[in-house]
Amino acid sequence: MSTSNKSATLGTSDSTAEVANITAEGLLLVVNGRDYHLPHEQFPWFQHAPVEHVFNVELLNGHHLHWPELDVDLELDGLNEPEKYPLISTG
């Protein structure tokens, strides 16, 4: 009997998130091919952050956006239906 040592990549997904652009007004976030404009007025955490930290976004579990160096977390559902998720900024 032959045993194969092939390893499967587990947990891979087609889900992607990236910051496509940063402007004076906000940033353009692309998640799974859909564009989201995040104005600095509503998302102030990104306005004065180092550019490389803003571009370093992760999409976790297909719905959770995480910026590790900025300690910022957003739910994708909150971007799709912002009226359900009022944002409160302390910074």
Per-residue confidence band for 88, with pLDDT thresholds at 50, 70 and 90: low
Using CA atoms, how far apart are residues 47 and 26, in angstroms rounded to an integer? 7
Residue 2 lies in a domain: no
Using CA atoms, how far apart are residues 47 and 24, in angstroms rounded to an integer? 8
Closest CA to 16 of 56, 55, 62: 62
Residue 35 lies in a domain: yes
**What pLDDT is attached to residue 85?**
72
CATH (domain of 34): 3.30.2020.40
- Give per-residue pLDDT as tens, 8-63: 334 445 679 999 999 999 999 999 999 999 999 999 999 999 999 999 999 999 99
Strand ranges inside the chain, DSSP E:
17-22, 26-31, 34-39, 58-60, 64-67, 72-75
pLDDT at residue 2 tops 90: no
Residue 47 lies in a domain: yes
Residue 1 lies in a domain: no
Mean pLDDT of 53-82: 94
Total of domains in the chain = 1
**Which domain, by its residues, includes 39?**
17-84
- What does pTM read for this prediction? 0.76
